[in-house]
Every structure is written in structure tokens, then in C-alpha cells.
Amino acid sequence: MAGNYAEMDGKIWMDGKLVEWSEANVHLLTHAMHYASAVFEGERAYGGTIFESRRHSERLHFSARELDFEIPWTVDEIEAAKYETMKANGLSDAYVRALAFRGAGEDMGVSSARNPVRLAIATWAWGDYYGDAKMRGAKLDIAKWKRPSPETAPSHAKAAGLYMICTMSKHAAEAKGCSDALMFDYRGYVAEATGANVFFVKDGEVHTPTPDCFLNGITRQTVIGMLEDRQIKVHERHIMPEELEGFEQCWLTGTAAEVTPVGKIGDYSFEVGALAKDMSQSYEKLVRA
């Protein structure tokens, strides 16, 4: 995808109807713009089918409840709206973004209980998130920002506000010529990239951080299942930064990232090895099956 997202052609589903892309606007005093009262999902469709679509819609509802609001559209209605939007835009391979948020209303302070909850769905064509990294391995910086304690933020929700430090970390990484940044958590353990979960390989076994303060991604869960089907041992555990030196391979998982091998994190290098390549290629086959 190239160009300005605000100037694309097509339709966006907003609050129950399709509108022209350029007319999918909100008021300046929309609560989500000021106080981050918004949740979203990123999904991919392959050959006209959205991978794990219903799980994404169910998680959208879960995230909204974590932020203390209810989406006034059912999971079934959201499912229908996503496919309606894809059809309206003539897309079979697409990225799908569903966004639920508190709009403008009677409240314009921290409280927003009287404001309407709105829902929008956009779809567009989007290629590889990390460019050619699937072949050569992505290069990651190490972020200065840390994933917060679940006592300070709803870390298991896919909430817009949780991505502020991700944006800053990714900008800092790109300024250094990197594709992304690895983030540690509030305790100093390895956590995730700015928008993707992370896996490591050592001695034929896989290690991945325990998702106790960050999102347990749907792609992450899918890849763990794929590894277990192959009888490959998966260790979900706390990983210390100094362990990075001993890992042989690494990859990222996420709807946008899919399965992307990593070649470098800070000063640590990783082989784009057989298992990383296999998981990337096998995931591609799975989602298109």
C-alpha cells in the first residue's frame, strides 16, 4: 500500500452503513481522540476468507469490556460487516481493521459514560509488514520503553492507548535503520515487539515470553499449535535479556507481521534458520488453505 490513507478510494463501514472513504470522519471532540477510549482489531483475509475472523470479533468485544464499554453490535453483526466491507471494496486478499470507540456526546472530560459507542471497519490491500524481512530477517532495536504492569493498564485488551509507547519505540528504531523494536516489560523480562509477539530457538526447542502483561496474540497461539503438532517443545516462560546471546533463531508473529524471521536484535545476531523458514512458509500455507 502506497499513498495517503486519508485519500484512498473505496468504502468504510461506519455505525451500520457503508460510507465513502473520504467521508468516514468523526467530530474533533470524539472522546477517543482525547482519552484513548478505543479498541481495535487487525485481521487479514486470504482468498476471501478472514483468518480466525470470529476470534478477532470476540476479542474486540472483550477489549471493549476491559475499557468499560459495550459494543452495540453483536459478534455476528461485526462478522457480516467485515465481509460486506471487503465486498464493497472488491477485495479478497486484504487487511481488515475494526475500531470501536467512544464518540462525541454529552461528556467531554475523563468520564464518557453518556457518549455513544461507535464502530468502524476499513479494509485495504496491504503487503508484507516488514518488506523483504521474511527472506533476510528483520533488524530490531531495543526499546527504552517497557510494557506496563497489568495493575496500571488493561494489558490483555487490544486498546489504542497501549500503543503510544509502541509508536515512539518504532520511530526510534526506524531512525536507526531498524524495522522494529524489542520491548522489555516492567520487570525487565523480554516481552514483545511493538506490534508482534516474539519466539526464539535454542537446541531445537522454542522459547517465547509468557504473555502476562501483553497481548497473547491470535497468531502467536496459532504458531504454538503448529509447533506442538510438529512435536517441538515450546517453553512459555520469563526470558531475561542476557539470554538473547544464546538463542540461535528468532521470529515475530502477528496478523500484520504474519511469521517474520529476525536476523538481529540490538547487538545480537540470529540465523534465519530452517525452523524459522518452515514456520513462515507453513503459516502462509495454513492461512490460504
pLDDT of residue 2: 55
Write down the pLDDT at residue 3.
79
Residue 125 DSSP class: -
Q: What percent of the chain has pLDDT over 70?
A: 99
What cell was used for 10? 473505496
Catalytic residue among 11, 82, 139, 158: 158
Residue 10 pLDDT > 70, yes or no? yes
Task: Please give the pLDDT value at position 135.
Answer: 76
Q: Which residues pair with 250 in a beta bridge?
A: 200
Integer Cα distance of 85 and 135 in angstroms? 32
Q: Are 267 and 242 in contact (CB under 8 A)?
A: no
42-99 pLDDT, tens per residue?
999 999 999 999 999 999 999 999 999 999 999 999 999 999 999 999 999 999 999 9
pLDDT digits (tens, 9 = 90+) for 101-146: 999 999 999 999 999 999 999 999 998 888 877 778 999 999 999 9
Pairing of strands 180-185, 138-147: parallel
Region 183-188: mean pLDDT is 98
Query: Which of these, 203, 9, 272, lies nearest to 123 by C-alpha position?
Result: 9
Average pLDDT over residues 206-233: 98
Can 158 be counted among the known catalytic residues?
yes
d(CA 20, CA 188): 46
Which pLDDT value is given to residue 132?
A: 78
Q: How far apart are CA 152 and CA 154, in angstroms?
A: 7
Mean pLDDT of the chain: 96
Q: Which phi and psi angles does 38 have, rounded to 5°?
A: -150, 145
Domains and CATH numbers, the chain: 5-124 (3.30.470.10), 133-287 (3.20.10.10)
Give pLDDT, residue 52.
98
- pLDDT value for 47: 97
Tell me how crowded residue 238 is: count the other CB atoms within 10 A of its CB. 14
Instruction: Give tens-digit pLDDT for 221-242.
Output: 999 999 999 999 999 999 999 9
- pTM, two decimals, is 0.95
81 by Cβ neighbours in 10 Å (0-12 / 13-18 / 19+) ranks as buried
